[in-house]
C-alpha cells in the first residue's frame, strides 16, 4: 500500500486511463484525445443555425483555436512528465485561453484543470493551485447533476479515471472529505460499469484502501479508517486470487497489503498468515534469494516477533535471511540493510535478556522496527 519495501500500490499516472475492458492502463495522451474527440464532435452537433458565411467563419476560428489548444496541451503534458512544472503551468494556462472560443464551460476544460491542479501541487504551490481545484470540482461534481456535453459523452473508463484523478488531487490539497467522496464515486462507476468482481473493481478497492490507510495516520483518527481499509484490501485480494493465474505478483502484493493493515490493527496472527502466502508466491516468481523475497521475509520476521515473545528461532531466521540478502544485493550501508541488521540485533538482544531475566516480559512490535 504505502510503506515497507514489499508493499506496492498501483496508482493511476497523470491522466492514466483504464482501457475499455476496465483493466490496465494506456498512454496518458489517451485522455486528452478522448476529450478532444468529444469536444469537437459535440461542438459540430450543437452548432446553432447560422448562414454559410458565418458558419465557415466560426468553423475556421474554432479550427485555429483548437490547433493552438492541442499544441499547448501537448506541451503542458510533456513538461509535466519531465518535471518541468513551471512550463506545464504556462502551457496549460495558455491552453485555457485558447479554449475560449471552443469550450462552453469549465466542464469542457477538464484536461487543463487537471494539469494545473497537479502541476501546482507537484511544485509545492498549493495556494496558487487551490482555485483550479475548486473549479475542477465544480466542473465534475460528486453529486450527479447537470453535465456539459463533453462530460456526458465521456466513455466509462475515462469517467472512472477522471474520478480517481480528482480524488487524488483533492488528497494532495488536504481536502480529505472531498477526496473520500470522489473515491467512493470512482468505486461506484467501476463496479457498475465493469462488475463488482472485476479486476478493475479490485484495483479501485486497492487504491481506496491505500487512501484510508493514509487517513488513519491523521491526528485524532480512530481505527475506523484502518478497518475500512482492511475490508477493501480483502475484497481486492479475493478478486485477484479468483481471476489472476498463479503465481501472480499482484496477488502477492495484495497479501502483503492485508498483512500490513493487520499489523496496524494489532493482529499479528492474520499478518503472519498472509505473509506466508505472499512469500510462497514471490519465491515462485523470483527465486529464494531475491530482494522481493527478502522484503517479505523481513516483514514476516517482524510479524512473528509481535506474535510470540521471546522471538522464536523462526522469526530470527526470517530476519537473518532478509539481512543477508539485502547486504549482498544492496550493500551494508543501504537503509534496508541497516533496518534488517538492527532488527536482527534487537531480536537477539531481547532473546538474551529474557533468557537471563526469566521474567517473561513481552516486548512490543515497536522494539523491532523503526518504520
Q: Provide the pLDDT for residue 42.
A: 42
Q: Provide the pLDDT for residue 75.
A: 87
Q: What is the pLDDT averaged over residues 231-243? A: 96
Q: Provide the pLDDT for residue 103.
A: 45
pLDDT at 22 over 80: no
Contact yes or no for 340/323 (Cβ under 8 A): yes
Better-predicted residue by pLDDT, 237 or 361: 237
* Distance, CA of 205 to CA of 69 (rounded, Å): 36
> In sequence order, what are the beta bridge partners of 17?
26
pLDDT at 106 over 90: no
* Distance, CA of 277 to CA of 295 (rounded, Å): 13
Ranges 64-73, 84-93, 236-245: which has the least confidence? 64-73
- Write down the mean pLDDT value for the chain: 79
Q: Provide the pLDDT for residue 201.
A: 92
Of 239, 238, 298, 236, the closest CA to residue 271 belongs to 298
Cell numbers at residue 117, please?
Answer: 491542479
The whole-model pTM stands at 0.77
Contact yes or no for 221/234 (Cβ under 8 A): no
pLDDT in tens, 117-161: 999 999 999 999 999 999 999 888 887 655 555 666 777 877 888
Ranges 97-101, 185-189, 340-344: which has the least confidence? 97-101
User: What are the helix and strand counts (H, E) for the chain?
Assistant: 15, 0
Q: What is the DSSP string of 183-228?
A: HHHHHHHHHHHH-TTSHHHHHHHHHHHHHHHHHTTSTT--THHHHH
Q: Provide the pLDDT for residue 154.
A: 76
DSSP 8-state symbol, 181? H
* Distance, CA of 255 to CA of 32 (rounded, Å): 35
Contact yes or no for 102/39 (Cβ under 8 A): yes
Q: Provide the pLDDT for residue 65.
A: 62
Q: What is the pLDDT averaged over residues 265-271? A: 94
Count of CA atoms in the C-beta half-sphere (13 A) of 19: 7
Residue 46's pLDDT band (boundaries 50, 70, 90)? Answer: very low
pLDDT in tens, 289-314: 999 999 999 999 999 999 987 888 99
Q: Provide the pLDDT for residue 144.
A: 65
Amino acid at each position: 500500500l504505502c510503506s515497507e519495501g514489499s508493499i506496492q500500490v498501483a496508482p493511476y499516472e497523470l491522466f492514466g486511463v483504464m482501457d475499455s475492458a476496465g483493466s490496465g492502463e494506456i498512454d496518458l495522451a489517451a485522455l486528452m484525445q478522448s476529450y478532444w474527440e468529444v469536444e469537437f464532435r459535440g461542438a459540430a452537433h450543437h452548432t446553432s443555425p447560422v448562414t454559410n458565411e458565418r458558419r465557415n467563419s466560426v468553423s475556421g476560428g474554432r479550427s485555429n483555436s483548437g490547433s493552438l489548444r492541442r499544441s499547448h496541451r501537448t506541451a503542458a503534458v510533456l513538461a509535466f512528465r519531465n518535471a518541468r512544472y513551471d512550463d506545464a503551468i504556462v502551457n496549460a494556462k495558455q491552453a485555457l485561453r485558447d479554449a475560449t472560443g471552443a469550450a462552453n464551460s469549465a466542464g469542457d476544460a477538464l484536461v487543463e484543470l487537471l494539469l494545473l491542479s497537479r502541476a501546482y501541487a507537484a511544485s509545492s504551490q498549493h495556494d496558487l493551485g487551490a482555485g483550479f481545484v475548486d473549479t475542477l470540482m465544480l466542473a465534475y461534481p460528486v453529486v450527479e447533476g447537470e453535465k456539459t456535453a463533453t462530460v456526458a459523452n465521456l466513455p466509462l473508463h475515462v469517467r472512472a479515471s477522471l474520478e480517481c484523478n480528482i480524488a487524488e488531487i483533492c488528497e494532495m490539497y488536504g481536502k480529505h472529505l472531498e477526496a473520500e467522496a470522489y473515491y467512493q464515486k470512482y468505486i461506484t462507476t467501476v463496479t457498475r460499469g465493469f462488475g463488482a468482481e472485476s479486476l478493475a473493481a479490485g484495483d479501485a478497492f486497492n487504491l481506496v484502501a491505500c487512501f484510508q490507510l493514509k487517513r488513519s495516520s491523521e491526528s485524532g483518527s480512530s481505527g475506523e479508517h484502518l478497518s475500512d481499509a482492511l475490508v477493501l484490501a480483502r475484497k481486492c485480494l479475493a478478486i485477484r486470487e479468483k481471476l489472476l493465474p498463479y503465481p501472480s505478483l499482484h496477488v502477492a502484493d495484495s497479501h502483503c497489503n492485508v498483512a500490513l493493515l493487520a499489523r496496524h490493527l494489532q493482529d499479528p496472527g492474520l499478518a503472519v498468515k498472509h505473509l506466508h502466502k505472499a512469500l510462497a508466491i514471490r519465491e515462485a516468481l523470483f527465486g529464494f534469494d531475491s530482494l522481493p523475497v527478502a522484503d517479505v521475509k523481513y516483514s514476516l520476521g517482524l510479524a512473528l516477533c509481535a506474535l510470540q515473545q521471546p522471538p522464536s528461532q523462526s522469526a530470527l531466521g526470517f530476519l537473518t535471511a532478509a539481512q543477508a540478502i539485502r547486504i549482498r544485493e544492496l550493500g551494508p550501508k543501504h537503509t534496508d540493510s541497516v533496518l534488517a541488521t538492527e532488527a536482527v540485533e534487537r531480536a537477539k538482544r531481547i532473546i538474551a535478556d529474557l533468557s537471563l531475566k526469566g521474567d517473561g516480559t513481552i516486548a512490543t512490535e515497536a522494539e523491532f522496527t523503526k518504520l
